[in-house]
Structure 1
Amino acid sequence: MQPWRLITNSSSNAFYNMAVDEAIMILHSKNEVPPTLRFYSWKPAALSLGYFQKTKKEIDYQNCQKEGIDLVRRLTGGRAILHDRELTYSLIIREDYKLLANSIEKSYQQISRGLVSGLQQLGIPAELKAVERGKKAPLGHSAACFDAPSWYEVILDNKKLIGSAQRRKNGTILQHGSLPLTMNAEKIFKLLNYSSEEQRKKARRTFSLKSTSLKKAGYNFSHSELENAIAAGLAQVLGIELEKSKLTEAENELAKKLASEKYKSQNWNFKR
């Protein structure tokens, strides 16, 4: 297998971040760029919605604007994530490479094993959420992603540490996920709609019990330390070779177009 690209130290707004992931996915599906592992962060902070979420029903857009929080819909499923002080990863590879399982659940497990391996190299005792026989995967009780870890997600102290989502399109896999360095539950739940303040408080309490961040767990690592360790963990578990690189001119141009015409548009972000 050809070496993968490793792209690091990128900080952009929500619209460009999501556009870059899709641009890589499109051009990799055409075999114009290699499989890619990318790390990035968000500036300014943003709330990303899962592809199927109902914006007006679930999100308080006025509060997002008031708090200076960008709102963007992801290409992937799942629930809302507040991206603030965090490290985000994305992994893109065509299915015909046959590196990841055909099953979304099994491929999710493979990637999570790599994430866990990387965190453990830093002395963080992360684990995979084990499947409990006879039980359905936890679905959570709110519009927020981190309120319950599902099977094979990365946990720490039995709390969800990394929230990930996957999309398969045109024979290509995109998985991206959020590793919070810190987490502000109060801020997150200001941005979500509830029928009463009591419901909001109850959801926030559950979220605080079921989720964690590196700082909450007592760890303080830089982006570069986390990137290096997680890249090494994924390379080891998946059996791949990584070479540092950057986006091509074609990817940059496509990402700018997607950011402007799709990810910034009300049609996309309020399509449901």
Structure 2
Amino acid sequence: MRVLYTFNKPWYYHMALDSVLLSLKAQNKIPNTLRFLSFQPECVLIGYHQNPYDEVNLELCESLNIDVGRRRTGGGAIYFNQAQIGWEVVASLKDFDIKNYEELSQYMCEKVAKALSTFGVNAKYRPRNDIEINSKKISGTGGVLQGGAFLYQGTILIDFDPDKMASLLKIPYEKLQDKNISSAKERVTSLKQELGYSPSFEDIAKAIEKEFEDFGLEQGTLTEEETNLLLELSKKLNSKDWVFENEITDKLISTKTIRTKAGTFKINFKIDKSKRLLEYIVINGDFFATPPNAVKDLESHLKFSYFDEISQKVKTFFDKTNLKISFMTDEELSDIILKAINE
């Protein structure tokens, strides 16, 4: 397994490299890769399915010169600075004997939790995608499947400024209420808070590497093909078109927020009540879907559907496209759509 160190890079470099590595791995053109990363300058990254206007205090970010970007994976918005280290694995599913996304999430989180425990903390995996120390989150994770390959990634809070994070992110009330807390401060911790000091990037990376040493680690560099594709895609991602892709511009759209075991869903819709007709729908949230683009295709598939057609249309779409939403069935997705538009 190749090991890459890509510290102090802008967000669009990392997001582009994620896509390049996953695409080439799906084509079996590159070795399995363990990558460590950090962000410079600081930034806020939203999940693939999120709307930046719902998740980020954009005016404050602009005034503080904090970049706003979009990930290629699902999950929620995260604030990144030099007090976090990112980790990710890009590999073939068959090499890890993993059958689905839920197994992948548990496997990777348990590996990294074990690595963190070597520093003397009680780190544990918490479904669906968190690593916790004494019930406080220290690492959020997420991934995506493509062909027979996967990318799974996370960040570790070495130090943490809860007030700054809370000011930059719009954390949904439903999310806090679901966890029985009043603020993000109660939910998050850091290695410095737990240990009294900040471990170095190198020490954390070495601890994680040890958990993957059975795969035969070897420090490497990017290939020429990876570098060329990275430069090309970086330009595309460093654009408003990519970051604001899920922006809702229609002022007549209604929104219903529903919290589920799969994440927080924001159902944006327009209906004709008299005809019981769904004219428009956009599904935002911090959920994980594979393939990610299939959710947009489902939205198109459901436009101008009568209410009593929706459940069957969702089921048929799931069956035909092999869309999978982590911790959610097609019936459960139909239920929350119908709940949103009927209220």
Match of residue 211, structure 2, among 233, 248, 251: 233
Preserved CA contact (<8 Å) 2:129 2:140: no
Report what 2:230 is aligned to: 255
Please report the RMSD computed on the Cα atoms of aligned residues, expressed in angstroms: 2.2
Residues 210-235 of structure 1 deviation map (CA, whole Å, 9 limit, x = unaligned): 11111121242100000001111233
Bigger radius of gyration among the two: 2
Q: Greater relative contact order (Cα 8 A, min sep 6): structure 1 or 2?
A: 1
| 1:51 equivalent in alignment to 2:48 | yes
Aligned partners of 2:64 and 2:129: how far apart in 1? Answer: 33
Aligned residue type for 1:173: F
Distance 1:206 1:88, change over 3 A: same
Report what 2:101 is aligned to: 104
More strand by share: 2
Match of residue 16, structure 2, among 15, 19, 28: 19
Residue 167 of structure 1 deviates from its aligned partner by: 0.8
Report what 2:84 is aligned to: 86
- Give the gaps of 5 or more residues in structure 1: 130-149
Aligned length, in residue pairs: 239
Residue 256 of structure 1 deviates from its aligned partner by: 1.3
Preserved CA contact (<8 Å) 1:186 1:204: no
Report what 1:214 is aligned to: 191
% identical equivalent positions: 26
Distance 1:11 1:59, change over 3 A: same
Preserved CA contact (<8 Å) 2:181 2:187: no
| 1:265 equivalent in alignment to 2:239 | yes
| Equivalence map 1:160-239=2 (5 Å) | 160-193=137-170, 205-218=182-195, 219-235=197-213, 239=214
Residue 100 of structure 1 deviates from its aligned partner by: 4.3
Segments of 4+ in structure 1 off by > 4 A? Answer: 193-196
| Equivalence map 1:128-167=2 (5 Å) | 128-129=125-126, 150-151=127-128, 153-167=130-144
Aligned partners of 2:165 and 2:242: how far apart in 1? Answer: 22
- Give the gaps of 5 or more residues in structure 2: 247-343
Q: Which moved more, 1:52-61 or 1:83-92?
A: 52-61
Preserved CA contact (<8 Å) 1:185 1:204: no
TM-score (structure 1 length as normaliser): 0.82
| 1:70 equivalent in alignment to 2:67 | yes
Preserved CA contact (<8 Å) 1:100 1:107: no
Preserved CA contact (<8 Å) 1:40 1:88: yes
Preserved CA contact (<8 Å) 2:3 2:34: yes
Distance 1:177 1:9, change over 3 A: same
Preserved CA contact (<8 Å) 2:70 2:243: yes
Report what 2:338 is aligned to: none
Preserved CA contact (<8 Å) 1:63 1:191: yes
Aligned residue type for 1:166: G
Q: 1:89 aligns to what SS in structure 2?
A: strand
